[in-house]
C-alpha cells in the first residue's frame, strides 16, 4: 500500500470531484488552477474569472493565443459555448454577492473556524498583493481550500488560529490536502477522507487542531496511478 502523499495534481483531481454539474466556479492561483484539467466526464462547469469571464475553457493552444482573452493569472485561455464577458465590477458582483456555487483557493493557513490566510507571508519583503481573493473568500457559497497539508518545514497549515495575515474570516467550508479531505462544521473539523494508505491518526499528527473522526473514514478515490 502506497504511503506517498498526494501530488499537487492529485489534490486538484480530488478537489475537482467537488464541483457540481452546471456550477459557476472560480479557481484561485496554485493547485486550484490545476483543477480544470480534472472535471469529471459529463459535467459542464462554468469557470469564472474575476477579470470578466464566465465560461472559461482550456488554455489556448500555442499559436492560437488571443492576448485579450486571458485568465486572472495572465494566461491566454479559451471560452466554451454559453460564455459571457463583463466588466471587473460585475465579475465581483458575482463573487461578493454570493453567486458563485464554489470557489477554490490556495492558502498558507486555514483555521479550525474557517479563517483563511493566503496573501502575505509575514517578514517577506515587498508590498504583497491581495487581488481578488478577499472578495471571493467572503462571497462564495462554498469555499474550498486546496493546499499541502504541511509547510516545507513540516509546520501544520491547518491550525487553531492563523498567524499569517488574514484574507477573510469564518468562510472556508472544506479543506483538501495531500493527506485529507476535511469539512469545517459548526462542531469542528470533520475528517471526511484520508489519502490512500494513511490512517486518521496519521492525519491528526500532521494537523494542529483536533479532528472529529468517525468509525470509518474512507480513502480518497483517485484515478489509478494518478497523473
Binding site for other proteins (CB under 8 A): 21-22, 24, 43-44, 46, 48-55, 66-74, 79, 81-89, 91-100, 115, 120, 125-136, 138-139, 165-169
> d(Cα 64, Cα 77) in Å, to the nearest integer?
9
- Closer residue to other proteins, CB minimum distance, 83 or 190: 83
Other Cβ atoms within 10 Å of 44 Cβ, number = 13
- Closer residue to other proteins, CB minimum distance, 165 or 200: 165
- Closer residue to other proteins, CB minimum distance, 5 or 120: 120
Alpha helices in 6-101 (DSSP H): 8-16, 31-34, 88-96
Strand bridging mode 180-185 / 172-176? antiparallel
Other Cβ atoms within 10 Å of 104 Cβ, number = 27
50 in active site = yes
Min separation Cβ 46 and other proteins, Å:
7
**All residues at 6 or more sequence positions from 183 whose CB lies less than 8 Å from its CB, including other chains:** 173, 174, 189, 190, 192
Considering the candidates 9, 13, 18, 50, report the single residue annotated as catalytic.
Answer: 50
- Closer residue to other proteins, CB minimum distance, 80 or 190: 80
Q: What are phi and psi of 161, to 5 degrees?
A: -145, 135
Min separation Cβ 66 and other proteins, Å:
7
> d(Cα 43, Cα 31) in Å, to the nearest integer?
20
**Catalytic residue positions, numbered:** 50
Amino acid at each position: 500500500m502506497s504511503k506517498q502523499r498526494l501530488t499537487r495534481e492529485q489534490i486538484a483531481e480530488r478537489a475537482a470531484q467537488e464541483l457540481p454539474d452546471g456550477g459557476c466556479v472560480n479557481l484561485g492561483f496554485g493547485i486550484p488552477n490545476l483543477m480544470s484539467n480534472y472535471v469529471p466526464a459529463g459535467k459542464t462547469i462554468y469557470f469564472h474569472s474575476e477579470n470578466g469571464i464566465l465560461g472559461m475553457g482550456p488554455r489556448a493552444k500555442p499559436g492560437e493565443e488571443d492576448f485579450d482573452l486571458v485568465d486572472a493569472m495572465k494566461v491566454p485561455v479559451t471560452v466554451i459555448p454559453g460564455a459571457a464577458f463583463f466588466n471587473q465590477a460585475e465579475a465581483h458582483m458575482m463573487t461578493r454577492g454570493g453567486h458563485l456555487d464554489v470557489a477554490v483557493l490556495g492558502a498558507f493557513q486555514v483555521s479550525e473556524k474557517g479563517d483563511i490566510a493566503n496573501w502575505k507571508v509575514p517578514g517577506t519583503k515587498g508590498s504583497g498583493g491581495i487581488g481578488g481573493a478577499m472578495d471571493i473568500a467572503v462571497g462564495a457559497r462554498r469555499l474550498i481550500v486546496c493546499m499541502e497539508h504541511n509547510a516545507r518545514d513540516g509546520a501544520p497549515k491547518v491550525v487553531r488560529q492563523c498567524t499569517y495575515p488574514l484574507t477573510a474570516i469564518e468562510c472556508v467550508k472544506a479543506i483538501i490536502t495531500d493527506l485529507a479531505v476535511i469539512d469545517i462544521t459548526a462542531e469542528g473539523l470533520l475528517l471526511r477522507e484520508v489519502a490512500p494508505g494513511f490512517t486518521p491518526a496519521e492525519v491528526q499528527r500532521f494537523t494542529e487542531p483536533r479532528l472529529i473522526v468517525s468509525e470509518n473514514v474512507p480513502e480518497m478515490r483517485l484515478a489509478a496511478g494518478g497523473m
